[in-house]
A and B are shown apart, each in its own frame.
Chain A
Amino acid sequence: MGGDNISPIDFNDPKIASLPRILLMGPRRGGKTSIQRVVFQKMSPHETLFRLEATQQLERAIVDHTPLCRFTVWDFPGDYYGEDDENNYDNDNNNNISTGDSVFVGDNAATSLIFVVDAQDEPYDHVLQSFTNAVTRALELNPNIVIEVFINKVDGELFLSDESKYDCRRDIMTQVTDELTDAGVSPDSIHIRYHLTSIYDHSIYEALSRVVQRLIPQLPTLENLLNVLVSTCSMEKAYLFDVVSKLYISTDPGPVDMQSVELCSDMIDVVLDVTPAEDLEEDMVDPDSAYDNKSASVIRLSNGMVLYLKEVDTMLALVCITRAENFRKKSLINYNIGCLKKALRALAQPVPTTENGH
């Protein structure tokens, strides 16, 4: 079945080839395709149980809903780590990547390698061996590549408590350090981030948000803008969300509390489902019509907090958390959001490509 609803996209088109890349690698059945489908194609997590087959060849997809958050996702077959790196993985469609290119090296593009480990499939030693091999090879070819480990499937009976998840993460980190040392690489020379994930809850969105944030060149500016907004309007917290993927691409520098991100992200679902879609003709609706340039929403909570969502760019939402008493001056807030909106628009203008996409 895989990939049948992806319309042919020319991944060699320089505009696409130069987008940041997220590579999904790892052992068979680790959950790479599931992650891709759940987050980027809205498959229900439960459906992955019986709708996915083992990935046979590289499947690429482009995520391009909003100008500030554009990248490609590369879903590799299980146990493929770029060994026979010269194009062979791409023989399903004829558009080969420019010769000599490695999967680890993007055209001027920031690249992130996500290694997906199945937390429910112990022991991990064999898998982590492949991981260290892949990492060392990737770093040789592209010293700037960002390495992320998703410790996936931390759900179900085995992971009821947070302790069990932390234990699992500690195990894996220690083993990776050992493997790297054995391979003669100093573990301190490589920066690896570890994320505990499950497609059944919000953790996968949190992890991917952090991955994506690292790929966005404008991130420091975005953080600044949000910081200004939050302090001028006395807000508790503000996030910028890609409405379609529900990843947040930036937030103000204040501490992030997972519960509040989750609430903001759930708010997006609520907004999209509550708004009636446009009737095109009898029995036909346009599902994308729910979110437009006038989209906004207010949710009042019993603890005196207000969630405020406002459209700030195509399929981009600002979601803020603020105290009800600070929400009274709504026109002032809207004015400031208007300024943010302008700034975002300017930021999203394609920068004349000079040297490097970083």
Chain B
Amino acid sequence: MAKKKVLLMGKAHSGKTSMRSIIFANYLARDTTRLSPTLDVEHHHVRFLGDLVLNLWDCGGQDAFYESYFERDRETIFRGVELLIYVFDIESETPEKDFDHFCGVLEAIEENSPDARIFLLIHKMDLVAEEDREAILEDRKQLIEESCISCGVENFQCFGTSIWDETLYKAWSEIVTNLIPNIGLLETHLNKFCRICDADEVVLFERATFLSISYQYGTPHFDAHRFEKISNIIKQFKLSCGKAQSQFHGMEVQNSRFTAYIDQFTVNTYIMVIVSNPSVHTAATVWNIQNARNDFERFIPRV
């Protein structure tokens, strides 16, 4: 079992705890208004794909804490980090101040965990009017990029996010797939499976979070946010099932053009298969999924 240390940083009230609670603790977005500010560092161990353990360090963002992060606890905090997730609040009143801490954090990371992967989330994008979102996001990305480069950091990924839509799932899918060892093997086999099924698309979701961890296609569709939307909606549906004292097992959806199957796959995953070829019979697809289960158990990376 491998523990991966993930640092979650950013100013107070930027939304760190909210995101973590939704992705890993089955919160609904509206429940996050009840969260109280994080004091100091909260440690959380969350399991992912069975035996991957994410050791989340949710670092309270009030200015006072940073002194100790940077001085007394510098090594404790910044050593052995696999992933740094730094959250910017799009509505921040003092963006300059955000950057002060940000550069300090980058320096400390470079010094103590030079191999850490860096993810920057520009959060609460829902507060920006939809028509301005893209432009404002680009603008802010530019600023952050400059700031990174001035600190000597060149490898990072930047996402606009909001707990109120599927962008949250997009960012976190990217983030966690980075922690899955050997994911290439899984992808190769999933791709083969996609072709065997004559499927348009095959997506693998992690069971607990419903984050998508791999996507393979025969015929791609253009709706860019689809899987994130599906993650979001199925996760919520699973919560509704829970309220009705039951659990979601699997589903089939069809219309005149497609049939989609979502089913429990391996112990720690769900699979979605989308077929538009009318000559592929439902029974065949179900049978294929059934038979691939045991095989795939072996390809899900073990740590």
Pairwise interchain contact A301-B233, C-beta atoms closer than 8 A: no
What are the residues of chain B within 8 A of A303 when measuring CB–CB? Answer: 245-247
A266 with B249: in contact, given A46-B126, A274-B233, A274-B260 (CB under 8 Å)? no
Give complex CA distance A47, B129 in Å.
10
Within A31-90, which residues are at the interface with B (CB < 8 Å)?
A: 44-47, 50
What are the residues of chain B within 8 A of A292 when measuring CB–CB? Answer: 255-257
What are the residues of chain B within 8 A of A274 when measuring CB–CB? Answer: 230, 233-234, 251, 253, 260, 262, 272
Query: Does A348 belong to the interface (CB within 8 Å)?
Result: no
Pairwise interchain contact B257-A278, C-beta atoms closer than 8 A: yes
Q: Which of these, A46, A259, A284, A298, contacts B222 with CB under 8 Å?
A: A284
Pairwise interchain contact B244-A269, C-beta atoms closer than 8 A: no
What are the residues of chain A within 8 A of B68 when measuring CB–CB? Answer: none
Give complex CA distance A269, B247 in Å.
17
Name the residue of chain A whose CB is nearest to the CB of B233: A273
A301 with B255: in contact, given A46-B29, A50-B127, A200-B30 (CB under 8 Å)? no
A263 with B229: in contact, given A46-B29, A276-B258 (CB under 8 Å)? no
What are the residues of chain B within 8 A of A294 when measuring CB–CB? Answer: 254-256
Give complex CA distance A260, B241 in Å.
9
Pairwise interchain contact B255-A263, C-beta atoms closer than 8 A: no
Pairwise interchain contact B252-A305, C-beta atoms closer than 8 A: no
Give complex CA distance A262, B240 in Å.
8
Query: Does B298 belong to the interface (CB within 8 Å)?
Result: no
Pairwise interchain contact B226-A276, C-beta atoms closer than 8 A: yes
What are the residues of chain A within 8 A of B200 when measuring CB–CB? Answer: 276
Give complex CA distance A1, B240 in Å.
34
Query: Does B72 belong to the interface (CB within 8 Å)?
Result: no
What are the residues of chain A within 8 A of B255 when measuring CB–CB? Answer: 275, 290-292, 294-296
CB distance from A52 to the nearest CB of B (A): 13
Give complex CA distance A351, B55 in Å.
65
Q: Mark B30-73, 1 if CB is under 8 A from A, else 0.
A: 10011000000000000000000000000000000000000000
A271 with B253: in contact, given A263-B240, A266-B240, A279-B222 (CB under 8 Å)? yes
What are the residues of chain A within 8 A of B126 when measuring CB–CB? Answer: 44, 46-47
Pairwise interchain contact B256-A293, C-beta atoms closer than 8 A: yes
Q: Mark B118-133, 1 if CB is under 8 A from A, else 0.
A: 0000000011000000
What are the residues of chain A within 8 A of B272 when measuring CB–CB? Answer: 274
Pairwise interchain contact B222-A300, C-beta atoms closer than 8 A: no
Query: Does A302 belong to the interface (CB within 8 Å)?
Result: yes
Number of interface residues of A (CB under 8 A): 45
Query: Does A12 belong to the interface (CB within 8 Å)?
Result: no
What are the residues of chain A within 8 A of B252 when measuring CB–CB? Answer: 297-298
Pairwise interchain contact A301-B249, C-beta atoms closer than 8 A: yes
Within B189-242, which residues are at the interface with A (CB < 8 Å)?
A: 200-201, 221-223, 226, 229-230, 233-234, 236-237, 240-241
What are the residues of chain B within 8 A of A138 when measuring CB–CB? Answer: none
Give complex CA distance A282, B221 in Å.
9
Interface core residue of A156, A267, A269, A273 (most chain B CB under 10 Å) = A273
Q: Mark A244-280, 1 if CB is under 8 A from B, else 0.
A: 0000000000000001101100110111011111110
Give complex CA distance A47, B245 in Å.
30
Query: Does B248 belong to the interface (CB within 8 Å)?
Result: yes
What are the residues of chain A within 8 A of B237 when measuring CB–CB? Answer: 266-267, 269-270
Name the residue of chain B whose CB is nearest to the CB of A284: B222
Interface core residue of B230, B241, B249, B252 (most chain A CB under 10 Å) = B241
Pairwise interchain contact B230-A273, C-beta atoms closer than 8 A: yes
Give complex CA distance A285, B223 in Å.
7
Pairwise interchain contact A46-B164, C-beta atoms closer than 8 A: yes
Query: Does B181 belong to the interface (CB within 8 Å)?
Result: no
CB distance from A261 to the nearest CB of B (A): 10
CB distance from A199 to the nearest CB of B (A): 10
Name the residue of chain B whose CB is nearest to the CB of A273: B233
CB distance from A206 to the nearest CB of B (A): 14
Pairwise interchain contact B243-A297, C-beta atoms closer than 8 A: no
Query: Does A299 belong to the interface (CB within 8 Å)?
Result: yes
Query: Does A283 belong to the interface (CB within 8 Å)?
Result: yes
Q: Which of these, B30, B233, B274, contacts A46 with CB under 8 Å?
A: B30
Within B237-292, which residues are at the interface with A (CB < 8 Å)?
A: 237, 240-241, 243-258, 260, 262, 272, 274
What are the residues of chain A within 8 A of B249 when measuring CB–CB? Answer: 299-302
What are the residues of chain A within 8 A of B223 when measuring CB–CB? Answer: 276-277, 285
A263 with B254: in contact, given A47-B126, A274-B233 (CB under 8 Å)? no
- Taking A47-B126, A299-B250 as given, write out 6 further A-B residue pairs in contact, using a Cβ cutoff of 8 Å, ordered by the A residue number: A44-B165, A45-B30, A266-B236, A266-B240, A273-B233, A302-B247
Residues in chain A within 8 A of chain B (CB atoms): 44-47, 50, 155-157, 200, 259-260, 262-263, 266-267, 269-271, 273-279, 282-285, 289-303, 305
